[in-house]
Structure 1
Amino acid sequence: MNWFSSLFGKREGDADQGGTASAEIALAPPPPASERGRGLPRFRGMAADQLGVGTRRHDRVRLNLRRAFTPARPIMDPAMLAGRTDLLRTMIRAIEDQYLHLVLFGPRGIGKTSILHVLSGIARESRYLVRYISCGERTSFDPLFRSVMVDIPLLFHARYDPASAEIEEGLSFADLLDESPLTVDRASELFSQVAGTRLLIVLDEFDRAGEADFRQSVAELIKNVSDRGSQVQLVIAGVAQNLTEIITHVPSIRRNILGLRVPNMTQDGIAELISNGQHASGMTFTSKALQLINLTALGLPYLASLVGQHAGFAALDRSSTTIDHADVHRGISQVLAHLDLRIAPDVRQRMEQAIRDGHERTLSRLAQVALANSFLLPRAEIARELNSGSNAGLGNATETLERMSKVYRLITPSVVHVADAYAFVDDGIALYLWVRMISQDAACRDAA
């Protein structure tokens, strides 16, 4: 009997009997069409509910929760921005009073895009012309700044009379361009003619722009419009540890720009974020729930919003609008699974090997250092963390860095201009390890 005959219970040489094998597999009769798929998961609300026209209170609360905590999307509503009042005030004063260009930098998940959207909204309220652009790998100078010119009505050109035929036709600055490539000099010349308003050009995700020529051109444009006293200012943001990572090193523009690093939020800032979400969703966080979210977030608005959202869903799943610490625990478990999927399989394998080899506590402390230092691992901070309080005895900082770098290949020397610092090979490692530690500590406390 070969493997095929063994599998299907039919011996070689057996004749078919009406096409039926000697050993049949009994199948349950198919359910009625109306019952099919009943065991599959379902969306919790109708499409109309998700547009805000639902009638059931539970559905409205769930919809409000999705809008209150948006870890996957930037904040657009100024009322929902938390913990950044002082930073926004500094940015507005630099633009309005000092005529400076701004460069905003910091790690992913720190809230740069949310800050830019809120700043843009505030500027529009004051009748600024605002052009927000998210850069990409193929962003180049000519098409980007042509698109900016399209949004500047010729009404705001210093040399055109408001009653001229060109303005009556609704022409823009783009209509003054020919088909030749737009150069920095030509863009600077046109921007110097902006009058009767002020223009903000907001370039987000600037670190993604792969062309070195584009970055150099933007730096030259900043210098030119500043030297000509133009009513045009640039606000640039990107993932970076310092100013020079974002803007090509041009010493002559230092006096024209203000570099602002977006720091981790304070505990009060995270509490404000949760309070905003509480009011917007109609749900209530207990004090213990708030404390646990604050501990988990480590000042990162992305993490606070992610945990807050999942904790809210956990409460709604038990038909409650009060979020307690048990809901946060369940939310953290969901976040942990979410973060796990973001780590590349080969990196996850090396991380799990290090954990099996007894280095989980050390890795967790390294993660804490990274999250508190814009995802950097300064050697001095590592030494302080590994030899303080309950962490004493975790090992020498140099040996730890060597082991995690050479043996497990989980960290690497930092490529940025920060002396004697390392970084995880994947930012997701630090987030995962930290949330994992919080989850395990919470489980241990519950068991006790």
Structure 2
Amino acid sequence: MSWWEKLTGRDAGTTAAVPRPVRPRPPQATGVREDPAGSALPRFRASAVDQLDSRRGSGASGARVRLRDAFTPSQPVVDPHMFAGRAALLTTLIRAIEDQKLHVVLYGDRGIGKTSMLHVLARQATEARYLVRYASCGEETSFGDLFRSVAADVPLLFHADYKPTSDAIEKGATLADLLPAGEVTPRQVSDQFARLQGTRLLIILDEFDRSPAGDFRRQVAELIKTLSDRSVRVQLVIAGVAANLTELLEHIPSIRRNIVGLPVTSMTREEVGTLIRNGERASGLTYADEAVEIITSLAAGSPYLAGLLGQHAGLAAIDRDSLVVEPQDARLAIRRSCDEIVNRISERSRIAIAQNEAAWDALALMALAALQRGGRFGGDVLAPLESDAQVQDAVMQHAAEANLIERIEADPAGQFRFIEEGVPTYLWMAQAARRLSIN
């Protein structure tokens, strides 16, 4: 039986026992030694000084330090050498900016790799002598404050009306010094950007879904239109959690020809495998083929899960004083990942899952679909368990009544999504633990 059959439960003729939700366990000590008082307490394995340079140290000690830099599930990838796959998407993104002079909107589910893509794009653009300014949006973001800060990072040296020897340039003035006091409008920002020369400015707005709807997004759309109409040497790249373009950017009809929407979807198995092998080279560990297969199958196309499992599996090998990551380490990584993820979901969701033990297999299939389909799914994902459409609908309705999933408002296909974003990741990992007999 293949790993995929074990994980999805699609091995015909077998009946799984009623599962119990995976319970959080106390963190296990990863290294214990006697302290002067004689009590055994967990200790740090490396000094903070050693961690400043991941090349320091040899053997397991050095590998542990390098592994932390090789797999960073809680942080975006900033090193291009650790960026796996996405070559076609990055090529399309660069061509849209460089050749077509378009503004770009990246959208997709959370944890799918949008921010990592933006960091790599910023690095590539900087190497091409673009001025790159990155900003992360929030609920309190205002148009004036955001673009005033962007303008403050653009030296007046690049303004067409000022000579390189002017006093203002020598004093370090910026485009922000030319903006009026108080609130600024898209037209006023565009007027200053229109005088840009000697370079191109790339403005990256990440987490745009967290920005306030209404005036802010309308003003951003208006700025995009004004910049495009005047052929200004400034382009915006906007990224956020969404299922489509219109969920992120309002007033689309007026700027549709000026922007391109690029979805960031799940990674392929080959791309996940490349991610693990990149980490292997960076850490100095060796990941056995079967261990890579386990991680690849479980990652479900998620770079976050791939990095999390890759890191925990590597640490498990190091904990047993080995530089080779074996299948047993990958299995232990599943348990440790479950223990980590369960603490990130609410008590309400944990209780709801515990009260629906009999529907665990169905919930796990919904979770897998959510991870692979950008968070949205319909009753068809339950086909491996039940082919009857009416029964599928009943199961989905029961999960909705348990407040685990909800129907997406105005979705033409009547699809569902999990109410809490961390739940599908936990359900899928817990399903893997139970299928692989790791409970």
Q: TM (normalized to structure 1)?
A: 0.87
- Given that residues 48 and 54 in structure 1 are in contact (C-alpha distance below 8 angstroms), is that contact kept between their aligned partners in structure 2? no
1:386 maps to 2:382? yes
1:67-89 CA distance string (max 9 Å, x none): 00000110001111111111000
From 407, 415, 425, the equivalent of 1:431 is 425
1:315-349 CA distance string (max 9 Å, x none): 00000111111100000100011111111001110
From 246, 259, 276, the equivalent of 1:244 is 246
Aligned residue in 2 for 1:23:
none
Aligned residue in 2 for 1:398:
393
Alignment of 1:368-383 (within 5 A): 368-377=368-377, 379=378, 382-383=379-380
Shift of 1:372: 1.4
Equivalent residues, number: 405
Shift of 1:37: 7.1
Shift of 1:178: 2.9
Aligned residue in 2 for 1:197:
199
Distance (whole Å) between structure 1 residues aligned to residue 131 and residue 410 of structure 2: 35
Partner of 2:52: helix, strand, or coil? helix
Distance (whole Å) between structure 2 residues aligned to residue 222 and residue 199 of structure 1: 13
Kindly indicate which of the two structures has a greater share of residues assigned to helix: 1
Aligned residue in 1 for 2:230:
228
Shift of 1:95: 0.2
From 97, 112, 115, the equivalent of 1:113 is 115
Amino acid at match of 1:226: S
Change in Cα spacing, 1:156 to 1:417, as seen in structure 2 (3 Å) is farther
Alignment of 1:273-288 (within 5 A): 273-288=275-290
Identical residues among aligned pairs (%): 46
1:367 maps to 2:363? no
Runs ≥4 in structure 1, deviation > 4 angstroms? 390-395
- Given that residues 151 and 172 in structure 1 are in contact (C-alpha distance below 8 angstroms), is that contact kept between their aligned partners in structure 2? yes
Distance (whole Å) between structure 1 residues aligned to residue 93 and residue 317 of structure 2: 38
Amino acid at match of 2:428: W
* 5+ long unaligned stretches in structure 2: 1-33
Shift of 1:128: 0.1
Change in Cα spacing, 1:311 to 1:391, as seen in structure 2 (3 Å) is farther
1:112-133 CA distance string (max 9 Å, x none): 0000000000000010000001
Partner of 2:42: helix, strand, or coil? coil
Shift of 1:370: 1.3
Change in Cα spacing, 1:37 to 1:160, as seen in structure 2 (3 Å) is farther
Change in Cα spacing, 1:204 to 1:416, as seen in structure 2 (3 Å) is farther
Distance (whole Å) between structure 1 residues aligned to residue 183 and residue 355 of structure 2: 54
Shift of 1:34: 6.9
Shift of 1:163: 3.0
Shift of 1:416: 6.4
Aligned residue in 2 for 1:317:
319
From 139, 155, 164, the equivalent of 1:162 is 164
- If asked which structure has higher relative contact order (CA below 8 Å, sep 6+), I would say 2
Change in Cα spacing, 1:200 to 1:368, as seen in structure 2 (3 Å) is same
Task: Determine which structure has more spread, i.e. the larger CA radius of gyration.
Answer: 1
Change in Cα spacing, 1:88 to 1:63, as seen in structure 2 (3 Å) is same
Distance (whole Å) between structure 2 residues aligned to residue 212 and residue 419 of structure 1: 27
Q: TM (normalized to structure 2)?
A: 0.89
1:440 maps to 2:434? yes
Aligned residue in 2 for 1:172:
174
Partner of 2:437: helix, strand, or coil? helix
- Given that residues 139 and 211 in structure 1 are in contact (C-alpha distance below 8 angstroms), is that contact kept between their aligned partners in structure 2? no
Distance (whole Å) between structure 2 residues aligned to residue 216 and residue 237 of structure 1: 16
Distance (whole Å) between structure 1 residues aligned to residue 56 and residue 400 of structure 2: 53
Alignment of 1:36-435 (within 5 A): 36=37, 38-52=39-53, 54-355=56-357, 358-377=358-377, 379=378, 382-383=379-380, 385-388=381-384, 396-406=391-401, 408-415=402-409, 417=411, 419-435=413-429
1:116-155 CA distance string (max 9 Å, x none): 0000000000100000011111111111111111111111
